[in-house]
Structure 1
């Protein structure tokens, strides 16, 4: 049984497309037949001055914190600090990177597997250090993920591809077909078809799947999007009655960025 911990760089995730992420899905990923979650830490910023004077902001922040705690996360806060330069311009800072790194290194001696949510390249050395301690490090990010971070991790997956982690609006089509997110596994430009790779959660384990697609089922005006392996698409997986009920991707669209 793998002893697992989750570390979430919440501010980076929020600013990189992961706003509204479902923390309970992360817990499911950590708890399965081969893994048990020992720790779950979320590192976030709080504007303490605003919390004191703005009741609406305070209610929103504390409700969010309560949801995380109910999911089993320990919250590590970094309070926003304000600095004024010579011209009177005010800048703010609330960086919890050091806290996350120190906690992960201290706790890694009791862990086998670490799920790290960030896209920040500053964690590159941390990942290598954790691997040298014998831990498997799996990185989940959204937009603007550092290239070296993706490469050095034992595994990397876009958070958009983890089923339910960032739910798709209108998750089911008119016929009950479920929307999925995936990337192009291969594409035959001359013949206008290819295969998407997407994931299902089976017993809380990510299982890769592939599904056929044809450009005739795309909402996009050009096929050049399908030649970029990191593009993320949304589509419905349907059984095509005209093709022996083979599963196919229909209503293909690009994931909206930003």
Structure 2
């Protein structure tokens, strides 16, 4: 798939999904502004939005500031705590609705998530003529999502570029250290798409 400089691109970030994947696989955090810059390249960025959850303690405020400082808009939802002790702040529906609203304003949509719940959203966007790219960790990404999108980029192959590791931690859990020069693993799903409306 060819990425053209004239392409209008939106980036939607499922921060909860990606945070937990990075923590589980690498015991690290992600450099979301760096991922957005690399993903959009020379294309025209229409919007970059991160869907985040805010706790009562406000411990994530410095993270929010880093996102905003990197040019990423925030959609914030309060974490709900149930009597059972379960905490929840699910953004899947909100993120999918925003993707649908943006469909007429972009040529390509980059979803930074590994969540298979977004497959119907991907299919809707493609039916509208939008090219859908997914960026996530291959090991924790739904196989259905990988198969549905037009382009899947496994950021595990670029871990050194996009991970913020705590000091002394160099190797991902259960995996060999990645070579920083390795080019990202890409699945290109070329198939006939309806042409983008003018």
Higher RCO (C-alpha 8 Å, min separation 6): 2
- 1:100 Cα deviation from its structure 2 partner: 0.4
Q: Is 1:151 aligned with 2:147?
A: yes
Structure 1 residue 162 displacement after superposition: 3.3
Kindly indicate whether residue 113 of structure 2 is the aligned counterpart of residue 118 of structure 1. yes
Corresponding residue of 2:18: 13
Q: Which of the two has greater strand per residue? A: 1
Give the superposition deviation at 1:167. 5.9
The Cα shift of 1:30 comes to 4.2
Alpha-carbon distance in 2 for matches of 1:161, 1:17: 13
3-state SS of paired residue (2:114): coil
Task: Quote the offset at 1:134 in angstroms.
Answer: 0.9
1:202-256, CA deviations, whole angstroms, 9 ceiling, x for partnerless residues? xxxx99xxxxxxxxxxxxxxxxxxxxxxxxxxxxxxxxxxxxxxxxxxxxxxxxx
The question of whether the paired residues in 1 share the 8 Å contact of 2:22 and 2:30 is answered with no
The alignment yields a C-alpha RMSD, in angstroms, of: 2.5
Structure showing greater Rg: 1
User: Aligned-pair distance for 1:50?
Assistant: 2.4
Q: Secondary structure at the match of 1:162?
A: helix
Q: Which residue in the other structure is 2:97 paired with? A: 102
Cα distance between partner residues in 2 of 1:157 and 1:7:
15
Give the C-alpha shift of residue 24 in structure 1.
2.5
CA gap of 1:152–1:120, structure 2 versus 1, over 3 A, is same
- Who is 1:36 aligned against? 44
1:181 Cα deviation after fit: 5.1
Q: Residues 73 and 149 from structure 1, CA distance in 2 versus in 1: closer, same or farther, beyond 3 angstroms?
A: same
Mapped contact 2:81–2:88 kept (Cα < 8 A) = yes
Instruction: Give unmatched runs, 5+ long, in structure 1.
Output: 52-56, 171-178, 183-197, 201-205, 208-258
Aligned-partner SS, 1:106:
helix
**Residue 163 of structure 2: SS of its match in structure 1?**
coil
Residues of 2 paired with 1:12 and 1:148: CA distance?
Answer: 16
- Distance in 2, matches of 1:165 and 1:136, equals 23
TM-score (norm 1): 0.59
> Cα deviations across residues 139-166 of structure 1 (Å, max 9, x unaligned)?
1112421111011110112111236122
Paired residue secondary structure (2:41): coil
Give 2:74's aligned residue: 75
